[in-house]
Amino acid sequence: MAETAKIAIVGAGSLSGKELNDVLGESPFAGADFQLMDDEEELGTLESVGDEVTFIQRIEPSSFQRVDLVFFAGDEALTKRHWADAHRAGASVVDLSGALEGQTGVLVRAPWVEEELGANPAQPAPGLETPAVVPAHPVSLAIALLLGRMSQAAPVRSASATVLEPASQYGRAAMDELHQQTVKLLNFQDLPKQVYDTQVAFNATPAFGESAKFSMAEGESRMRRHYALLVGDRLPDAGIQVLHAPVFHGYGISMAVELAHPLSVDQMEAALAGEHVDVVTADGDPPTNLSVAGQAEILVRARPQGGHDSNGTRFWIWAGLDNLRIATLNALACGLELNRLRPQGKVQ
């Protein structure tokens, strides 16, 4: 690592960008020289990273000169406009937007899962020639991590998950529209639908309207794809269905799992417990989208299908996670991984 690494956050005014500011300020990168960048709407906004306070700056082609690491935390369009300049300048690139997935040499990464399962022999490891990495979707990361730990206690025969998705996964505009729809409904007024093109307030839905700005099907496909990339053939395929829930923040995952031989709930809890996972027992309050807010761990409760005191091969797993915090912690892990590959002793 450079004596004083230089790190840029592009899309610093987004929800992910602001979360990344907080995460980096408490990380091994806390002493780095930070540059915050965004499009015209966010220019001049005062932000802090750790103990440093700085302004969000305009993005220029020369903005990435002598930058070691760039996190793209805005939307896909912002990443596509500027990532090539960062790459040409020699910076390592971490793309939280997912815009670069599928481009030659770009890797989908989740170092937490690799620590648990080992390197996937079907996927190359990042190197100095890697143009960028895309942090794996937080739901894919969570499912892979949990199933990987279960498999050490008993082979997993099958798994399927229903994912309850929050508005913040689609950014500030989606959160604003959920709020406005809630207020309008309570006042018997027409609903704004510019973002979702359907009612999401007081409603759970498996799809948005035809004119929606986002596609749930694309997000669901990304979860499945990232899970497959992370686990290869070491774990069974996981069925994943997404429902958009009328909440602002936090994923909920209801997962049905069948094992090759019976376990008690104590054995299951012991298997799941460990770094990045906080097991909540039956005598504690269950994980909710409120209790996971700001948490750096995935909160999990396990229940045998036959009842809490029975042994069985079928379990219900209820998991909750802060979508923004887990995504940015994974991005941080990816950034640390890339940084270790860089020549040491001077700013690149």
C-alpha distances (whole Å) from 348 to each of 33, 45, 62, 90, 121 are 13, 28, 14, 7, 31
The CA angle 311-316-319, to the nearest 5 degrees, is: 130
**CA-to-CA distance for 330 and 110, rounded, in angstroms?**
6
In the prediction, which pLDDT does 47 show? 57
Burial class (CB within 10 angstroms; exposed 0-12, middle 13-18, buried 19+) of 92: buried
Q: 129-173, pLDDT tens digit by residue?
A: 999 999 999 999 999 999 999 999 999 999 999 999 999 999 999
Helix (H, G, I), strand (E, B) or coil at 261: strand
Q: What is the mean pLDDT of residues 172-192?
A: 96
**Average pLDDT value for the chain:** 91
Per-residue pLDDT, 209: 96
Q: What percent of the chain has pLDDT over 70?
A: 93
Query: For residue range 220-246, what is the model confidence (pLDDT) as tens digits?
Result: 999 999 999 999 999 999 999 999 999
Q: What's the confidence (pLDDT) of residue 119?
A: 84
Regarding beta strands 298-304 and 312-321, do their DSSP bridges make them parallel or antiparallel, or are they unpaired? Answer: antiparallel
Higher-pLDDT residue of 40 and 76 is: 76
Q: How confident is the model at residue 3 (pLDDT cuts 50, 70, 90)?
A: low
Give the mean model confidence (pLDDT) for residues 239-260.
Answer: 97
Residue 178 scores a pLDDT above 80: yes
Please tell me the distance from the alpha carbon of residue 112 to that of residue 337, in angstroms, as a whole number. 11
Q: Which CATH superfamily is domain 140-323 in?
A: Dihydrodipicolinate Reductase; domain 2 (3.30.360.10)
DSSP for 182-237? HHHHHTT-PPP-TTTSS--TT--BS---TT-SS-HHHHHHHHHHHHHHHHTTSS--
What is the pTM assigned to this prediction? Answer: 0.92
- Say what the pLDDT of residue 39 is: 79
Average pLDDT over residues 107-127: 91
DSSP class of residue 42 equals G
- In CATH, which superfamily holds the domain spanning 6-135+328-341? NAD(P)-binding Rossmann-like Domain (3.40.50.720)
pLDDT at 347: 40
Query: Over 90: is that where the pLDDT of 311 sits?
Result: no
- Report d(CA 143, CA 8) in Å as an integer: 30
* Domain boundaries along the sequence of the chain: 6-135+328-341, 140-323
